Structure 1
Amino acid sequence: MTSAPFWDAVVIYVSDEWYDGLQAFKNFLLSYVLILSRNALLWLPWPVVIALVAMTGYRIGGGKLAATVATLAAFLLITGFWVPTMITLYMIAMAVVVSILIGLPIGLLASRNERLSSFILLICDTLQTFPSFVYLIPVVMLVKVGDVAAITAVIAYATVPMIRYTNLGLRRVSAQTKEAAEAIGCTKRQLLWKVELPLALPEIMLGINQTITMGLFMVAIAALVGTKDLGQQIAWALSDGDTRRGLIAGLCIASLGITADRILRTWSRKRSEALGLTG
């Protein structure tokens, strides 16, 4: 017995019944969101980008972090892969924003109900067992190839840590803290926005960090649907046997991941220390 015919029928039905709506939505995203965002990022001069990265590192972690992330950003320039890197950055940024918008409320709901939490985490576990390229198959069938398909696949693959860390962070807020807030008259909304979310924010930022990391991993796979980013450079390198190009493109992806990791982890650690949440 196999469930393949059922899922094939579902995808075919959605593709047939929703095709016009999906294509209209895809064209709207491309014309008014994705292309504009990509062009804006490509328009930025490289000295401005490197300076912004260095400034962010300095404000969060001081001179040492600023030097580290500025060096990583400069490496992206000297490799000659600046344009594919900026396209990769735009795709990851779009995917992470949507992953946050999806994962944050789902994680919040999971933190409020044990039964719902078990069900949501079961789905998360199931999603993480799929090979990464599996996410491309239904997406390509529904929206065809291109940036929309790639970003959608990244969102499907990388939203799980956002859900997990949001749930974990909110559950780690102590009952005594919440009771104290309620005792001084906090409403449920005030308790969430002024107590729980600020205290859970370090964990949530680690979730964003993991989402970025998983998204960067998925970028290389998403090159199969016709993107023009670093993933495409890796795909070309594999087909041409060009080890140098593939290695440099991989190092560029790693540089983006390390930059995000160093900035977000440093911010999360300092925020935890400021809140007295560290040992």
Structure 2
Amino acid sequence: MRLDDSRESQNVEDRRGSGGGGGRMVVGGGIGGIALLLVALFLGIDPSVLLQGGGGAPTEQTSRSAPGPDDAQRRFVARVLGETEDVWKDVFQRSGQTYREPTLVLFSGGTQSGCGAAQSAMGPFYCPNDQRLYLDLDFLADLQRRLGAPGDFAAAYVIAHEVGHHVQNQIGVLRRVEELRRGRGEAESNRLQVRVELMADCLAGLWARNAQNARGIMESGDLEEALGAAAAVGDDRLQRRAGGQVVPDSFTHGSSEQRVRWFRRGFEQGTLAGCDTFSDQR
């Protein structure tokens, strides 16, 4: 991955070593009205007009902490985040919209988020309440060691996926989806959640294609690294690794095949309209 010429995002908050702990709220998933939101964004229509409200305002002022330790991992994360900012700023501008940049919080062990307490064991996540991404860098090491998905572009895929949730939040998808999940049974609620996660995978692929076209950040083998990471975190593969039975109704992120397919679609098409996982239920 070529990031030497990439700028470092200033939206990185380094809390490593500050302690914390607990659980977190999971970003939800759903269907009706999603395709309309995607069309609205590209027609230059404010999606909040369609949903009687935007994609969710933060409950607290977004702060930008002073840079943390000047280490290679932090610089890598900041540069990947900067690449996502440049791509999404351009995508939104082309449709007459303004992209609000999220903050990425680095932590170790646990920390507090706008969605409650966060814990490393739960993996990276996005909190729509404070519009922050939360990442313990140890997860990226686990991705390589335990899940068999090595490479810097595999790590970039993880960050781009969480940024995809921020995009969903900003255009109103997450709020609409959460409304649709109310009153649904567990299996149906899980199916809706899967569509949100697959869309975030597709948006990560969209980012990769646009960043490559604009700045040539990818090297030989990078696409395979991203696809390998998407496959490694499929629900079916994780359930098998845990020694349990594969139960599709319990999936919350999608199978390995689905995750790979939707990342690839985003990469090949490079458009937001191509990431409508709610109309295409495969």
TM-score, normalising length: structure 1: 0.33
User: Which structure has more RCO (C-alpha within 8 Å, separation ≥ 6)?
Assistant: 2
TM-score by length of 2: 0.33
Which structure has more helix as a fraction of its residues? Answer: 1
Tell me which structure has the larger Cα radius of gyration. Answer: 1
